[in-house]
Structure 1
Amino acid sequence: MELSGVLLGAAALVHLPTVLAFSLPLSPPGRDWNDYTEQHVGKWRGLWTTYNSAGVERGDPDRMDTTISLSVDGKTVAHVNTLFVGSVGSDCSTCHDSVETRDIPAGQYTTETFRHRASSGCYLFGPGVTRGGDMTTELGFRLDEDRRGRGLVSHRPQANGVEPPLQLALQRIVVVRETLAAQRQTPPSTSSCWSIDRPSWLGLWRGHEMVLDDGGGGADGGLSWKEKALPPTHLRRCRCSGAASEDDDSHASLELDGGILLEAPKIVDAGKPAELSVRCAIGRKSNAATPNRIVQANVRLEALGRVVDTVRSAEGQNVRIAPPKLLQLSVHSLTPVESAGL
């Protein structure tokens, strides 16, 4: 049984290890499941890079692989992470080094329990609350035939120990760069797989937008997809380093190898909508800075909206806060106007 919400005590956050406070509504069968299984099933070799709230990289990237497999009947997905916990070098010229790994089951999904939302090769998992009390939001993108990128953003409640928190503060961003094991026989690295020139976002772009929201009805769990064409438009100037104005300090911005731009709010205020976005450049013509295609996902969410109830225990009085809520997910798939035939 899953319980939704975060418990807050009189002195500090009270984290109950038996409470997994994910409150994501179930995805309706069909569209989201089909897009996810078509685009993301496979064995992915990954590099995990962690950044702090200021966008500074924490140490070297970690190697961890992810296997997403689909059952024969197409109704169950198994998700397993493979950690690389050690290696032994060989002193023999004809021998090979050995690597110690450990498989960690990360989840199993069925068509009835699936909680991801997916469209156009992009998926969203979250926002949700971990056992430790942080709010997490994950966006993933299928970039081309053998590359995938993911961004995991964590925010932490800022409590004074007396009343429920009024803010969530950005704690860290984890960026995962992945390649399909079947396509690349060598382990991934930023130099071999992701080191490309920074793409240009300039020029006119057009395409279509998939929007997931409640259509203005406000019914809980009533999110549905809508599609609309986008007229030629200029992409707004990003907040990336060196481009943001001095008074525009509300978001942390990362412009990364492989044509990935991630922007996350530094502060999420209680009951107020906040936005995070990821933009990915997909392919490019030889010696050209303009990508063949751009996929961008924008997430609007709300957290710390209201107190659900009060819980009294031997340790004192706790309040249960409503879990974070997805307000809208929009996925843009854009091509340059020139290549679109205009």
Structure 2
Amino acid sequence: MRRRAVTALLLQYATALIMTPAARNQLTRRRATETTDTDFADAQWQLYAAQSGRWEGVWTTFDSQGIEQLAHTGCWDVSLDGDDAVHKMEVPGPDGYPRQIPVGTYTKGKLGRQTCAGAGMVSGPTLLRSGLMSTELLLRYGASRLRVAVQHAPAEANEGVEDAVPALLCFRCVVARERCDAELGAPTREVEATRWQGHEDDLPDDKDNTHFWKGRSPYSWRRDWVGESDVAIRDTLEHFELPDGLEEDESWHESTRSGEASYNLALPGGIRVQAPQIIPAAVPVPIRVAWMPNAQTLLRAEGVVTALEAVEGSDERLAPPRLVTFRADCLKDRGPKPGDPIYVDPEPGE
């Protein structure tokens, strides 16, 4: 009964989220024209090219309970040659030297399971050789970027459960804080402390105002955010303005919990990750990342995915997981929400 109740709750929750942005929020449409296949491919390639480069980062792995397991530096490298791209990764090898791992070769119109919108990108959902389903969300801000991969594993039904249905359970999450072609290397805590030393009240020498490890007050999330939103759906890109801010039901970034059966991380550097702990069969569910690279900017990414859908005409085969929609928001702080008190952080020692 408990499992059926959880499944019903997730179904109701996901159904509300899968509605198009125009239905869920009073967005002002600035440009929402239908695009041809060629236009969409060109737009995707330009946005993908903006994510290319050599990104050195700190990769931190969290388990299914949100507990940090390990952290190491690595490199996400995409080199462009005309309309071709070669993607590879570098990770520490057993001998201490970097080990290169080929990821893929892509061309315009053939980006695989990668979809771009605005300053964001989603890779997946993809089935890995290990059997895990991986969904990776990326958000870029200048020369800095946040990359989050949430992975789900197949779940076996408990013995004796009637009408058991397949599901996926959250297995782990990898959070990468990255900087492109950084002179100081990956943005570790030590590197960030060096960049900001003596510049607490102004910008560092490289003029990058991102601080990947600075703590953010919980009150800094509850602001009147305005900006723009880009949505990719069914080979179409749409752009919206948000001049009136976000509706209450759109302000999911304010809370560190987004539902009873959710996986949540609240990390230093203004990073929040929200994903379903359980992905039921054929139920669209959101995977979300919110990032405040500085106190005045909020970036958000939301990928709605579905998995374990039955192949039409077959009782045994399952279709590959798929992306339903991808949305990326770029928001600026307009001040306190109307009617909210103005919070003042206490002085040290009080």
TM-score higher than 0.5: yes
- Structure 2 equivalent of residue 202 of structure 1: 222
Which residue matches 1:82?
90
Distance 1:192 1:271, change over 3 A: same
Aligned position for 1:50? 61
Deviations 1:240-292 (A, max 9, x none): 2xxx49xx322111111221111110001111121110011133xxxxxxx22
- Pair 319,190 (structure 1): closer, same or farther in 2 beyond 3 Å: farther
Alpha-carbon distance between aligned partners in 2 of 1:76 and 1:319, rounded to the nearest angstrom: 38
Cα distance 1:321–1:26, how it changes in 2: closer, same or farther (>3 A)?
farther
Offset of 1:165 from its aligned partner? 4.9
**Aligned to 2:72, which of 58, 62, 65?**
62
Q: Quote the Cα distance in structure 1 between the aligned partners of 2:276 and 2:155.
A: 15
Deviation at 1:65, TM superposition (A): 1.3
More strand, by proportion = 1
| Distance change >3 Å, CA 136–CA 186, structure 1 → 2 | closer
Residues in 1 aligned to 2:232 and 2:47: alpha-carbon distance in whole angstroms: 14
Displacement of 1:153 in angstroms is: 0.7
- Residue 27 to residue 198, structure 1, CA distance change in 2 (3 Å): farther
Q: Is the 8 A contact 1:27 1:114 kept in 2?
A: no
Structure 1 pair 81–259 and aligned structure 2 pair: CA distance change class (3 A) = same
Root mean square deviation, CA, Å:
2.8
Q: Per residue, is there more helix in 1 or in 2?
A: 2
| SS class of match (2:317) | strand
CA distance in 1, matches of 2:323, 2:60: 26
1:186-225 matches, within 5 Å, as: 186-193=185-192, 194-198=212-216, 200-213=220-233, 222-225=234-237
Quote how far apart the aligned CAs of 1:330 are.
1.5
Deviation string 1:90-119 (CA, Å, 9 cap, x unpaired) is xxxxxxxxx522222111111132131112
Letter in 2 for 1:196: K
Q: Distance in 2 between matches of 1:172 and 1:26?
A: 37
The amino acid that maps onto 1:335 is: K
TM-score using structure 2 length: 0.70
Find the counterpart in structure 1 of residue 196 from structure 2.
none
User: Paired residues, what number?
Assistant: 271
CA contact (8 A) 2:168 2:279 kept: yes
What are structure 1's unaligned runs of at least 5 residues?
Answer: 1-24, 88-98, 214-221, 284-290, 311-317
Q: Which residue of 1 aligns with 2:207?
A: none
AA paired with 1:157?
Answer: P
**Which residue of the other structure, out of 107, 110, 115, is the alignment partner of 2:107?**
110
Q: In the alignment, which residue of structure 1 is the partner of 2:122?
A: 124
**Structure 2 counterpart of 1:249:** 260
The aligned residue for residue 296 of structure 2 is: 292
Report what 1:325 is aligned to. 322
Q: Distance in 1 between matches of 2:185 and 2:303?
A: 34
User: Is the Cα contact below 8 Å between 2:90 and 2:100 reproduced in 1?
Assistant: yes
CA contact (8 A) 1:27 1:117 kept: no
Unpaired runs of at least 5, structure 2? 1-36, 193-211, 337-350
Q: Percent identity?
A: 26
Q: Structure 1 counterpart of 2:188, which letter? A: S
TM-score by length of 1: 0.72
Where 1:61 maps in the other structure, the secondary structure is: strand
The residue type equivalent to 2:320 in the other structure is P
**Equivalent in the alignment of 1:151:** 148
Look up the SS of the partner of 1:226 in the other structure: strand
Partner of 2:184, secondary structure, is coil
Task: Tell me the amino acid that sits aligned with residue 189 of structure 1.
Answer: T
Cα 1:336/1:188, change in 2 over 3 Å? closer
Q: Could you say if the C-alpha distance between residues 104 and 26 of structure 1 is closer, same or farther in structure 2, counting changes exceeding 3 Å?
A: farther
**Post-superposition offset of 1:66:** 1.9
- 1:187 offset after TM fit, Å? 4.1
Give the letter aligned to residue 175 of structure 1.
Answer: V
1:219-247 C-alpha deviation (Å, 9 max, x unpaired):
xxx3311122112236346442xxx49xx
Does the Cα contact within 8 Å between 2:150 and 2:172 map onto a contact in 1?
yes
SS at structure 2 position matched to 1:36: helix
